[in-house]
Structures are given as structure tokens and as C-alpha cells.
Amino acid sequence: MSTPSTSPTTAAFPGGTILGYPRIGRRRELKKAVESFWAGRTDAVDLEVTAGGLRRETARRLVELGLNPDDGSVPGSFSYYDQVLDVVALLGAVPERFRDLLDEEDGSLELDGYFTVARGRGEDAPLEMTKWFDTNYHYLVPEISETTPVSFADHRIVREYAEALEAGVTTRPVLVGPVTFLALSKAADEAGDGFHPLDRLDDVVAAYAELLRALAAVGVPWVQLDEPALVTDSLDVPAERLHDAVRSAYRVLATGLAKATDDTDGERPAILVTAPFGGLGDDGLALLAGTDVDAVAIDLVKGATPAGPLPGLEGKTLVAGVIDGHNVWRADLTAKLDAVESLRGLGAGALAVGTSTSLLHVPHDVEDEVFGDGPGTTLDPRLRDWLAFADQKVGEVATLARALAVGRDAVADALAASSAAVASRATAAGVVVPEVRERAAALTDADFARGPYAERAAAQAARLNLPPLPTTTIGSFPQTPEIRKARAAWTKGELPDADYSAAMRAEIERVVALQEELGLDVLVHGEPERNDMVQYFAEQLDGFAVTANGWVQSYGSRCVRPPILWGDVRRSAPITVEWSAYTASLTEKPVKGMLTGPVTILAWSFVRDDQPLGDTANQVGLALRDEIADLEAAGIGIVQVDEPALRELLPLRRADQEEYLRWSVGSFRLATSGVAPATQVHTHLCYSEFGEVIGAIDGLDADVTSVEAARSRMEIVPELADAGYSRGIGPGVYDIHSPRVPSSEEVTELLTLAVKAIDPALVWVNPDCGLKTRRYAEVEPALAHLVAAAREVRATL
């Protein structure tokens, strides 16, 4: 081991920095290139050429927007698919089933193999995917055991640094830090009892040390290691273990390797450790301050200003993450500058301006939008001044950095303009709608509660007259190419309203006829008119905007365009009533109206940052309450309000979870509690690992809750029974995530498990989720088996 580096850090990133930048391309070029590679239309060389072009373009763009090209302020944060998978590739740490993909000599993965681990092949399941902290980005979960290979196998990061340098920009390689990588990994199947991936910390750190040496050897000045695991206490690792891991990892990487400086060769670049997505807490920051890393980035958007002074910070640069990397609003730069300066008391060697998180979670550029009041996807012109996407945020960082370096006077105009924009938003028409505010202010506890369940259940039984184990679906039926074509043509104005409406009605007729033929008990309209379960409602509610190019990576090559919730939410006209009423006119069977719940609408949108989320949720709740009242008035006896994102928004810190569950459950109840006892309220939640939200599910007070349960073989049902849950439950018996058609024996088996675990009178029979991504060739036999199984188990009751 070499001697610890003692050279004091000079101020790093004086021109400001960002923690990462969108990598999919402003016209989704990477998505297209990757998908055409997958389809075999292009080869790996074509893909590398496109990706290299995007990387160079990004580096140049960031310099053009104000970042310094020479000092490592420009992040090199590219990924072909996912940044966690990149570490798997870096280490060659693939699960057993993919070992044949590793190069025999150096243990690395070719691009082809890299995508195979992400997407699976034949019987070999891909790595599991799960949500990245509190974002809508999904990463791949590494599988690690005692025997997983771990080495410095892949040199892509080094090559990408050289590539940018050739284009004239000194980048700062960005990768997930060793502790977070292992904390987010799961134990592979072959791992022994009690094994935790963190048991492999020394091996992983040794590989990172090799990487740092390689980076230092080519003159990389800075490297960024992301350690967001430090901001959450919801992982299955106790805080002490995580903290020990950080101490031990950075003792090796920072203390143990001599830092290269301008004048001396060394074994490692300067190290920036980041902690995005939340507050580190004083102990978390003290922990990082106590290591020999050279800079620490903290999130001041989600996290509180830490108290100081903190020993150890004097030799480091503290990067103040004041520009929100996770939402789209333009900042009041004066307030942000105050926030940066409030860190002076911490005693850091230097302060730098940064983003709170990578900009991966926002779209590229406000200027890519079409402003005006024309039809379709154009934005209200006022939004141009209120919004900041990635490029605008880089500009904000540069302006703040300048103020910090040479004084506020130098950027007085920019500061004033930003304050004026924020102020104009605060009072603009539509942002505050007095009528909406008055209605919310007048709410009382009674608006959040229905009558006793027993009375409701009796009234519903009398009205609906359903058999035991009633069968239904979650709402959507396959979205055929014809439906998509009709919707696209209508959106472009090429298909008249009447023709579009006729096409949708014809589709509804088909879906109703099919459900009757299959013998389902509660029918749906199939949701053919919905592009997306959130966007559809956002397009019709006041207070939302929908972008033309606001794409954000969701996972791999998949991108979403989250709506922007900018103003008070109001429903100016019924949204779904016409479709549901038409459906009901076609059948004698009960029809279920279908809505997306307030929490899910918020979770999958960019939300306003000028009022508590709970207030916004209640506004959406009230709009839905009106919609439900209209459905009820149109004779619809069952309404389902989907909340698949309820668990997604759960705060990363346990201390914040109770308050979240209070308002989220409240907004659902506000939406659904205006109905008569005889109207049955359903909800649907996708995930099957309930743990911390099982109480909330009960709190929703829905008459029937459907959940994903096929893969876990009904695991949730006994858990609910143990928790004393006593209303309707529809544990999914058909895994819709796979094209596989379950046999009726399989469905019978699952159903039997369910009726053994909980009172059969409570059990409903349905698939795991909506059917929109499946094909009719799979859906028809699968639903036929589902109905047959329900009949069979019914006969045994």
C-alpha cells in the first residue's frame, strides 16, 4: 500500500458541474440505434459509431452550455443500457447462466453479451429490473454470490475518456460506486445461507482500484463514484454495515492509492463521491468527510442543509446540488445561491455548484418543444419561461458558478430574470384557480370516508348478483396495430372525430362480445382509446401539459414522456363516461369503469414544486371524484381506480413514510368515497412485494383490490389474511408479463392456494395486470382457462 495522499485539494469544478446528462439522445438516437442492432438490421460497429457520435456531441454541447472543458467538470455518463449493468460488465460479474458470454481471456462482455444479460435469451431470464431510488428509471439488479467472477474486466470507460479527449473535452468518468453497487445487488441463487453481496466488497474494491490506476495512467483528472445507497434506509442493509463498507472501500481507493496531481504521477484520479436523491443526514456527510476522497456532492433539493463544521471537509470540495436534476422547473437562482452560500459554515475547502442528481431524469431541451395554442402536443407559451430541462439546467449551474466565483453583480440580469420567471408562475392564471382552492379548503373528514364495509358489501351483493369467485380483467385489452393507427391518425388530425369514435366503438363491441363469449362476470371496455394510463387523463384535465419531445429514459431503450402538472387541476368535462356508458349499453353484465388514481398520475408526471404533493394529490382526487359521480349517474355499478404507483412513491427514509401514506391514501379515498354504498370500488396495484404498504392497502378502503400474484404463487394472500384484511381481493392468476398461456390446471392450482389462505367469499379471479401489451392469440386461451378454473374451484366450495 502506498502513502496516503496529503496534497490539499484546490477548488474543483470552479465553473460548476452536473452529475450526469441524458444519454438516449435528443431525438432518441441511441434508442433507435440499439433497437436496430437488436433486430439485426445493423451491427455492433454501426451501434458504436452512433453511440460515439452521441457521446462527442454531448461533451461539446455541455461545453457550449458553459461547463469547463479542461478540469473534469464535464461528466462522461454514457451507458448503452443501464449504469448498474455497466458495473456488472466492468467486473464481468454475470450470473452463472450467462458465464459463457464472458471472454475467455479477460472475462469481459461483448456488446451482444451485455444486451443478453439485460434482455435474457431462451430459458435464461434476464437480470431483474427495479426502480432506481425515487425515480421512474429502472436498473438491472446484479446477482452476486461467493463465486461470481469479479475483476477489472472491461475497459470501456477508459476508451470513452480517450475518445472525448480527442474531441477536445476532458471528461470525468461516472460510475456507480462499489458500496451502492453491492447494496443494490441480490444474492444469486447459488449463494450460501446468510450471504450478502456486500461480503464481496474487498474483491469489488480491488477491481475498482485497478480501474482507477488505469484511469490515472491515461491522465484522467477526476472520477465520479455515485453512492446514493447512503441516502436511504429502506435497503436490506443496516446503516452500520453500509457505513463500515464506505469506510473500508474508500480507505483502499482514496487513502491507499496515491492521487495524481498536475505535477506528479499517481495511482488514481481525484475522486468525487455523490449522494443524490436525498439527504445524507449529518452522520452520512461526516462519514464521507472522514474519508480521503477529494470532493463530495450532496443533494440540497431533497436533503436539508447539513450542520457543521465537519472535520475532514477542509481538504475537500463540497459540490452543492442545488439545481434539481429530477424535476423540470426553472430555479430562482438568487435563492439557490443563498443555499450554496449557507454551506460556508461547514468548513469545506471549497464550494462548487452542481445538480442534485444526474440530469438523466429530465428531458433534453425546452427549445425542442413547440409553443403555442394549436392542437395536439404544443405547450402553453408561458411554460417556455417556467421550465428548465437538462440544457437549461446546465446554464443555471454555469450562472450560479459564475456568481459564486466573481460575485452576484456579474450575473445580476440572469438572477433577476430567474426570480421574475418564478414570480410570474406563482400568480399566473391557471396556476392558482380560486374555485379549486376553495373547494379543497372546504373538505372535511367526511369527504374521505365511506360508510361501514358490511353495509356496502350487502348493498353491492344485492345489486350485482355475482357468483362466488367472480371473474374479471384489470382493464386493458390488447392494443392492436389498427387501434394504434387510428389513434395516431386522429391525433395528427387526419382522422375525423366521428370516424375515430366509430373505430373505438367497434373495438369496444369486439371486446364486449369476446368477454361474453368467454363467460367473464364483470366486463370492461378494454381501454382502446388510451395511449397511456396517465397521459390520457393528463391530456383531458386542466393544469397538465403534454410535451412533444420531453422523452426520459425509463429503462434500457424504453422512454416515456411524463406530462407536466403545472397548475391547479380541474376536470372541465367528463372523460371516460361516454365509453363506459356505451359499453354498458351492449351487455346485461355489470361493467367496470376504469380510472387512474391520483398517486399514480402524480408519480408518472413532473409535478409542480410550489405546494405540498398532498395538496396536488387532493386536487386530482377531486377531479376523479367528479368523474366517478358521473359514471355512477350513468348507471355504472363498479369503478376501478388503479394505483400501481402507490408503493413507488414511498419515501426512501422510513421517517417520511407515514406522512406519505397519510396523504396518498387520503387522495384515493377522496376520489372514491363520494359513491353510494351499492357502488363497488375496486383498486389495482401491480407489484407483489407489499411489506411496508400492506396497511396502506387496507387504508384505501376499496371494496375489491387486485394485485399481481401469479409469479409469487399467491404469496400475498396469506400475508393479507394475517394482517386481518377482510374485503375483496383479486390475486392475479395469469402472469401477463410473459407470452406464455397458463393451462387451466395451473390457474386452478393458484386459485386453490388462494381460497385456502383466505375466506373464499372474498376472492376474485383476474390476471396480474392489464392485457394491453399481449396479443389476442395469447389472451383468448388464457382467459378461457381462467374462467374454466374459476368454475372448477367454485364447484368445490
Which listed option, Zn ion, ligand GLN, none, makes contact with residue 331 (CB within 5 to 8 Å by class)?
none
Instruction: Provide CB contacts within 8 A for 288, sequence distance 6+.
Output: 230, 246, 273, 275, 280, 296
Distance of closest approach, residue 755 Cβ to ligand GLN, in angstroms: 24
Which listed option, ligand GLN, Zn ion, none, makes contact with residue 259 (CB within 5 to 8 Å by class)?
none
Tell me the C-alpha distance between 497 and 672, whole Å. 31
Tell me the C-alpha distance between 290 and 287, whole Å. 5
Between 58 and 688, name the residue whose CB sits nearer to ligand GLN.
688
Contact 403, 335 (CB under 8 A): no
Tell me the C-alpha distance between 680 and 556, whole Å. 39
Distance of closest approach, residue 683 Cβ to Zn ion, in angstroms: 11
Between 332 and 648, name the residue whose CB sits nearer to ligand GLN.
648
Interface pattern 660-689 for Zn ion (x via CB under 5 A): --------------------------x---
Distance of closest approach, residue 686 Cβ to ligand GLN, in angstroms: 5
Among 390, 546, 769, 788, binds Zn ion (CB under 5 A): 769
- Residue 540 CB burial class (10 angstroms; 0-12, 13-18, ≥19): middle
Which listed option, Zn ion, ligand GLN, none, makes contact with residue 390 (CB within 5 to 8 Å by class)?
none
Tell me the C-alpha distance between 186 and 612, whole Å. 35
Which listed option, Zn ion, ligand GLN, none, makes contact with residue 533 (CB within 5 to 8 Å by class)?
ligand GLN
Distance of closest approach, residue 452 Cβ to ligand GLN, in angstroms: 28
Distance of closest approach, residue 769 Cβ to Zn ion, in angstroms: 3
Question: What is the distance, to the nearest Å, from the Cα of residue 184 to the centroid of all Cα atoms in its chain?
Answer: 16
Cα radius of gyration rounded to whole Å, the chain: 27
Angle at 687 between CA 686 and CA 689, to 5 degrees: 155
Between 301 and 697, name the residue whose CB sits nearer to ligand GLN.
697
Distance of closest approach, residue 528 Cβ to ligand GLN, in angstroms: 11
Site for Zn ion in 615-654 (CB under 5 A): 644
Of 37, 127, 139, nearest to 83 (Cα)?
139
Would you tell me the crossing angle of helices 83-91 and 201-217 to the nearest 10 degrees? 90
Tell me the C-alpha distance between 586 and 591, whole Å. 10
Which listed option, ligand GLN, Zn ion, none, makes contact with residue 476 (CB within 5 to 8 Å by class)?
ligand GLN
Q: Which residue in the shown chain puts its C-beta closest to Zn ion?
A: 769
One-character DSSP codes across 134-186: TSS-EEE--EE-TT---S----HHHHHHHHHHHTT--EEEEEE-HHHHHHH-E
Of 276, 273, 385, nearest to 322 (Cα)?
276
507 secondary structure, DSSP code: H
Distance of closest approach, residue 136 Cβ to ligand GLN, in angstroms: 13
Tell me the C-alpha distance between 352 and 366, whole Å. 25
Between 611 and 738, name the residue whose CB sits nearer to ligand GLN.
738
Tell me the C-alpha distance between 88 and 86, whole Å. 5
Distance of closest approach, residue 684 Cβ to ligand GLN, in angstroms: 5
Between 521 and 708, name the residue whose CB sits nearer to Zn ion.
708
Tell me the C-alpha distance between 610 and 22, whole Å. 25
Which listed option, ligand GLN, Zn ion, none, makes contact with residue 621 (CB within 5 to 8 Å by class)?
none
**Interface region with Zn ion, contact rule CB under 5 A, candidates 387-395, 651-659, 749-757, 769-777:** 769-777
Dig out the grid coordinates for 237 from the structure: 442493509
Between 257 and 686, name the residue whose CB sits nearer to Zn ion.
686
Query: By the criterion CB under 6 A, which residues form the site for ligand GLN?
Result: 474-476, 527, 533, 594, 642, 644, 684, 686, 769-770, 772
**Interface region with Zn ion, contact rule CB under 5 A, candidates 209-217, 372-380, 654-662, 765-773:** 765-773
Answer yes or no whether residue 169 interacts with Zn ion by CB under 5 A.
Answer: no
Which listed option, Zn ion, ligand GLN, none, makes contact with residue 594 (CB within 5 to 8 Å by class)?
ligand GLN
Write down the residue that cell numbers 490506476 correspond to: 213
Distance of closest approach, residue 737 Cβ to ligand GLN, in angstroms: 11
Which listed option, Zn ion, ligand GLN, none, makes contact with residue 326 (CB within 5 to 8 Å by class)?
none
Contact 358, 323 (CB under 8 A): no
Contact 759, 724 (CB under 8 A): no
Report in angstroms the alpha-carbon separations of 339 from 302, 354, 427. 13, 12, 24
Between 124 and 780, name the residue whose CB sits nearer to ligand GLN.
780
Given the residues 525, 684, 737, 785, select the one marked as catalytic. 737
Run of H or E residues at 225: strand 222-226
Dig out the grid coordinates for 142 from the structure: 446484479
Run of H or E residues at 275: strand 270-275
Tell me the C-alpha distance between 68 and 16, whole Å. 8
Instruction: Provide CB contacts within 8 A for 611, sequence distance 6+.
Output: none
Between 22 and 563, name the residue whose CB sits nearer to ligand GLN.
563
Active site residue 737: yes
Interface pattern 30-49 for Zn ion (x via CB under 5 A): --------------------
Between 78 and 555, name the residue whose CB sits nearer to ligand GLN.
555
Distance of closest approach, residue 772 Cβ to Zn ion, in angstroms: 10
Between 108 and 688, name the residue whose CB sits nearer to ligand GLN.
688
Look at phi and psi of residue 786 and say left if phi exceeds 0, alpha if psi is from -120 to 50, else beta. Answer: alpha
* Residue burial 223-242, b: 16+ Cβ < 10 Å; e: rest: bbbbbbbbbbeeeebeeeeb
Distance of closest approach, residue 474 Cβ to Zn ion, in angstroms: 6
Contact 170, 74 (CB under 8 A): yes
Which listed option, ligand GLN, Zn ion, none, makes contact with residue 584 (CB within 5 to 8 Å by class)?
none
Q: Which residue in the shown chain puts its C-beta closest to ligand GLN?
A: 770
Write down the residue that cell numbers 491515461 correspond to: 218
Which listed option, Zn ion, ligand GLN, none, makes contact with residue 553 (CB within 5 to 8 Å by class)?
none
Between 539 and 642, name the residue whose CB sits nearer to ligand GLN.
642
Which listed option, Zn ion, ligand GLN, none, makes contact with residue 793 (CB within 5 to 8 Å by class)?
none
Q: What residues line the site for Zn ion (CB under 5 A)?
A: 644, 686, 769
**Catalytic residue numbers?**
737
